[in-house]
Structure 1
Amino acid sequence: MTTPTLFYGVPSGCSFGSIVALEWLGQPYRLSRIEMPEVVTSDAYRQINPVGETPTLMDAQGNFLSESMAILNHIGALGIERKLGFAQGTRDFDRLNQQLAYLNTSYFGAFAPLWHALEGVDESDRPALVRYGTEQVRHVHQELEAMLGERPWLLGEHRTVADAYVSGIARWSKYHKVLNVEDFPNLQRLYNQLEADPAVRFAHAIERQAPAQSAGGFRGHVTLEEVLAQR
C-alpha cells in the first residue's frame, strides 16, 4: 500500500476540485505540483498519463487513474459514509454521475474557446472565439442555475464530489471576465458557500504556494521525479 498521490495542474487547473474532494474525504494523501504547459506535456509526465493532462491520481495500490470524472468517482466511492459519493446501482449514484458528466462536458467545455483564445491563436480569430465562448459560458450558467434551484448543494442537502469539482471550474468565469455570477443568484450562493469552505481555501493556498491548513489528510508534496524513481 502507498499513500495516494494527486498530480494537480497549475495555474488554475480543474484538478483543484480533486484537491477539495480529497480534503473532504479526510484520508491520507500527497500532492504533486505539475506546471502547465511545460511539465504536463513532458515525456516524464506522459509515463503516468499518456494524454498529458491533469489531474492524475496514483491510488493506494500504485495504479494511475486519469480524468477528473473517474478520479472524483473514485474518491466518492471512498467517501460514501461522508456522503461524498454513493453506492453504484443506486438512484443517488446515477444522479451524481449525471451531474459530474454535465460538469465534465457541457460546463467544462463551454470555456474551451476562451482558453483557446489565450493560447496564441491568430489575432483575427480571437474575437470570434471570445464571442462564441462568452455565449457558451452564459448558456451553461443558465442551465446550472436552473438545475441547482433552491438546493444548498448540487445534489441536495449534502455536499458531494460534484460540488468539489464545480469549485475549480466556476472560478474560470472570473478569470476570463465574461459574465457576472451575481446575475445567477443560486450559483452565487453556492459559490460563496464553497469559497468559505476550509477545503477550498486550502486548495487556493496550495496553488499559490502559500501556507495551507489541511483538515488532516494532507501528507505533503512529492515531485514527479520521486514518484517515477519508485516505479
Structure 2
Amino acid sequence: MLTLYFAPHTCALSVLIALKWLDVPHKVEKVKLGDPEYRKLAPLGMVPAMTDEHGKLMTQAAALLKYLVNKYPAAKLGGDGTLDGNYVLDEKLAFLTGDFHPAFWPFFSPKRFTVKEDEASIAAIKSASHIRIDRVMLELDRQLGNNAYLLGQQRSIADAYAFAMARWADYLPKTISHYPNAQRFMQAMQEDEGVQAALKHEA
C-alpha cells in the first residue's frame, strides 16, 4: 500500500488529492517538517514523501504526481499521450515547481534569505515577495484563461498541484479574488469530492 507523508498547508496536499481522485488504497501519515524522527525516513525533513508497496522512499511533489500518472494510466490524470500533450503537462509542472512554488519561499521562510534577524529586515523580505507572488499568480490566471483546468477541459495532476499552492495567496494583501480565472478554478476545485476528502486531513 502507498503511504503518503503529509503536513497540513503544504504542497503535499497535491499528492493527497491525486490519491483521492485515483481512489486507490493508501495511508496518510501526518508529520512535522524537520522533525528528527521523520528525518530518519526523509533526510531533508520535507513533504511530500511517499513509500510504495515495498517500502521504497520517493520524494518531490511533481515526481510523485508523475509516478501516480504512470502507475495508474487508466485514470487519465496526465497528458493525452501525444508528444505535444505530454510536453504541455510537463511545462505546467515545471512552472509550478520552478516558478510558482519558489515565489512563496521568501514570504513563508524569510529567514532563509538573510543573516539578519531584526524585525524590519524580515518584514522587508516578506514585503518584497509580494511582487514575485503577484507575477506568478497573474501567469497562473493567464494560463487558465476560460478553461476549467490547466490542460483545458481535462482534469490532471497539474490542477491538484496548482490548487494546493494557489490557496496560499489568501495570506497576502492581494488575495485570490484579484485573479478571476484562478478564483473560478479554486472555487470549482473546492467543490470536488476528492479535494474535499483530501482537505479533511487538514481539519
- Is TM (by shorter chain) over 0.5? yes
Q: State yes or no: 1:137 paired with 2:133.
A: yes
Displacement after TM superposition at 1:150 (Å)? 1.2
- Which position in structure 1 is the counterpart of 2:20? 23
Q: Secondary structure at the match of 2:146?
A: coil
- Which position in structure 2 is the counterpart of 1:84? 77
After superposition, the Cα gap between the structure-2 partners of 1:46 and 1:87, relative to the gap in structure 1 and judged at 3 Å, is farther
Amino acid at match of 1:16: L
For 1:141 and 1:108, the matched residues in 2 are separated by 11
Amino acid at match of 1:196: E
Question: Is the 1:54–1:67 Cα contact (8 Å) retained in structure 2?
Answer: yes
Displacement after TM superposition at 1:121 (Å)? 4.2
For 2:86 and 2:72, the matched residues in 1 are separated by 12
Question: Is the 1:148–1:187 Cα contact (8 Å) retained in structure 2?
Answer: yes
2:193 to 192, 198, 211: 198
For 2:117 and 2:11, the matched residues in 1 are separated by 22
Displacement after TM superposition at 1:81 (Å)? 1.8
Q: Secondary structure at the match of 1:170?
A: helix
Displacement after TM superposition at 1:122 (Å)? 2.4
Q: State yes or no: 1:111 paired with 2:104.
A: yes
5+ residue gaps, structure 2, are: none
Displacement after TM superposition at 1:107 (Å)? 0.7
Question: Is the 2:79–2:88 Cα contact (8 Å) retained in structure 1?
Answer: no
TM-score w.r.t. the length of structure 1 is: 0.80
With 21-30 and 44-53 compared, the bigger mean Cα shift is at: 44-53
Q: State yes or no: 1:69 paired with 2:67.
A: no
Amino acid at match of 2:122: R
For 1:125 and 1:144, the matched residues in 2 are separated by 29
The structure that is helix-richer by fraction is: 2
Amino acid at match of 1:80: P
Displacement after TM superposition at 1:201 (Å)? 1.4
After superposition, the Cα gap between the structure-2 partners of 1:51 and 1:15, relative to the gap in structure 1 and judged at 3 Å, is same
2:35 to 41, 51, 57: 41
Question: What percent of counterpart residues are identical?
Answer: 27
Question: Is the 1:77–1:87 Cα contact (8 Å) retained in structure 2?
Answer: no
- Which position in structure 2 is the counterpart of 1:216? none
Q: State yes or no: 1:52 paired with 2:52.
A: no
**Could you say what the CA RMSD is over the residues aligned between the two structures, in angstroms?**
1.9
Displacement after TM superposition at 1:33 (Å)? 0.5
Q: State yes or no: 1:14 paired with 2:11.
A: yes
For 2:10 and 2:189, the matched residues in 1 are separated by 17
With 70-79 and 151-160 compared, the bigger mean Cα shift is at: 70-79
- Which position in structure 2 is the counterpart of 1:5? 3
Per-residue Cα deviation, 1:11-62 (whole angstroms, up to 9, x for no partner): x1110111101001111111111023xxx331x3223211211110101232
Total equivalences in the alignment: 200
5+ residue gaps, structure 1, are: 209-231
Amino acid at match of 1:183: H
Report runs of 4+ in structure 1 exceeding 6 Å deviation. Answer: none
Q: Secondary structure at the match of 2:183?
A: helix
